[in-house]
């Protein structure tokens, strides 16, 4: 063909998402960062974040999952360690969203038909679902406990 080359396609202004190789059957096979990225893809509230904010949010959420998986031994009477770890996870998600500049006071009726759900709850559920963290359906007690933890810090 001598010297003729196909012109390359112009770069698209649209951002792309490379789908990770996530195995839903075995969450331990995947890295936590891949799981968190996979969980955040479908959340419309995070669509306005630029790359550096999104990477910071992903890093903070990876730390939150790591803290939850490490466990907690508070030794408080009448309160399970799992409940406190879940409240701390919820608080860490809240701080990660605030650090990334996401308004955490938005409420959405999309996810739960019986009531409103905050952005924090939606992100915590999405990340918890892919990282095998069981969150209760009613998060009122956890939100109250997370607020008291935040008041102590």
Pairing label, strands 107-108, 117-118: antiparallel
Q: How confident is the model at residue 99 (pLDDT cuts 50, 70, 90)?
A: very high
Beta strands in the chain (DSSP E): 107-108, 117-118
pTM over 0.75: no
Give me the chain's average pLDDT, please. Answer: 76
Whether the pLDDT of residue 93 is over 70: the answer is yes
Whether the pLDDT of residue 96 is over 90: the answer is yes
SS3 of 13-56: CCCCCCCCCCCCCCCCCCCHHHHHHHHHCCCHHHCCCCHHHHHH
Of residues 49 and 105, the one with the higher pLDDT is 49
Of residues 34 and 112, the one with the higher pLDDT is 34
Please state, in angstroms and rounded to a whole number, the distance separating the CA atoms of residues 7 and 77. 70
Q: Which two tokens stand for residue 76?
A: 């408080």
Instruction: For 139-151, write each residue's pLDDT tens digit.
Output: 777 777 777 766 5
Please state, in angstroms and rounded to a whole number, the distance separating the CA atoms of residues 152 and 75. 17
């Amino acid at each position: 063909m001598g010297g003729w080359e196909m012109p390359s396609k112009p770069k698209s202004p649209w951002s792309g998402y490379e789908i990770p190789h996530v195995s839903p059957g075995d969450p331990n096979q995947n890295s936590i960062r891949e799981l968190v990225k996979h969980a955040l893809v479908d959340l419309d509230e995070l669509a306005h974040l630029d790359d550096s904010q999104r990477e910071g949010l992903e890093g903070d959420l990876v730390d939150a999952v790591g803290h939850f998986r490490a466990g907690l031994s508070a030794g408080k009477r009448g309160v399970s360690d799992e409940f406190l770890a879940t409240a701390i996870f919820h608080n860490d998600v809240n701080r990660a969203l605030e650090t990334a500049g996401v308004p955490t006071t938005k409420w959405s009726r999309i996810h739960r038909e019986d009531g409103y759900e905050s952005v924090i709850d939606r992100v915590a559920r999405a990340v918890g679902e892919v990282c095998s963290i069981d969150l209760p359906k009613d998060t009122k007690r956890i939100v109250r406990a997370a607020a008291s933890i935040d008041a102590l810090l």
